Amino acid sequence: MILHTDITGQGEPLVLIHGLFGSYENLGVIARALQPQFKLINLDLRNHGRSPRAEDMCYQQLAVDVFDTLDTLDIENFAVLGHSMGGKVAMQMALSQPTRIKKLILADISPVVNEPRHQRILKGLAAIDLALLTDRKHADSLLQPYVDELGVRQFLLKNLYKDANEQFQWRFNLQALVTNYEQLLAAPEATGPYLGETLFIKGGNSDYIQAAHQPQILALFPNASVKIIQGTGHWLHAEKPAAFTKIVSDFLLR
């Protein structure tokens, strides 16, 4: 599957991969900050954003999609940065074809099976009848009983758009996300470790990367280091973009 991409900047290629319910726009601030130094390939994963839809999605398929897309762009070797689910895609890529990945950056995610924590979000999204929706404010009121945090609702509702018939639609394939949710909680599959330089960036207030995960991290990524951005949660790149960008830039340029 060939994915939708947004390509900017010049220099060594850096692939950006968003998380669940996201799109290439989520990492736009990071892409713009890094443009003077890198060629940014910012993409939408399958069933997200403007990329094609499919019934199935597991990490092996998602990784192949990214490789196939980069092949059409004649990009052989590159660094990759993934946030959350996108970080697991990046891990799968590095573990599957390690010689193509120059450096690996993983934002607030570990190579472990995650606890399910999106059921209420999925239920809330499914409860919105798009045919009856009048505007985003209406959608927000329908989602509020399921999702308390205003910021999370705003993030999710960025995916609403009107089609050619002025009918509201989701940018993501909600049914595929529901059907494949268990697959997206899985750990990446590996036959051996990725020996390249790897950086985990943790949100100080987030529990997605835990001390208990260290054995799995070092088994798969023995050349890994960790940076913590204090005062941030899971969306650390959005909460402190300047700090996040500096850590990424320093790691890639050193």
Residue 206, helix vs strand vs coil = coil
Q: The domain 5-113+186-253 belongs to what CATH superfamily?
A: Alpha/Beta hydrolase fold, catalytic domain (3.40.50.1820)
Numbered ranges of CATH 3.40.50.1820 in the chain: 5-113+186-253
The residues, ordered by sequence, that sit 6+ positions from 171 with a Cβ below 8 Å of its Cβ are 23, 48, 49, 50, 159, 160, 161
Q: pLDDT truncated to tens, each residue of the chain (254 aa)?
A: 999 999 999 999 999 999 999 999 999 999 999 999 999 999 999 999 999 999 999 999 999 999 999 999 999 999 999 999 999 999 999 999 999 999 999 999 999 999 999 999 999 999 999 999 999 999 999 999 999 999 999 999 999 999 999 999 999 999 999 999 999 999 999 989 999 999 999 999 999 999 999 999 999 999 999 999 999 999 999 999 999 999 999 999 98
- 118 part of the active site: no
Catalytic residue among 84, 96, 110, 206: 84
End-to-end alpha carbon distance in the chain = 34
Catalytic residue among 18, 48, 234, 237: 234
234 a catalytic residue:
yes
> Residue 100, exposed/middle/buried by CB under 10 A (0-12, 13-18, 19+)?
middle
Query: Can you tell me the distance from the alpha carbon of 107 to that of 153, in angstroms, rounded to the nearest whole number?
Result: 21
Q: Which amino acid is residue 77, in one-letter code?
A: N
* pTM score: 0.96
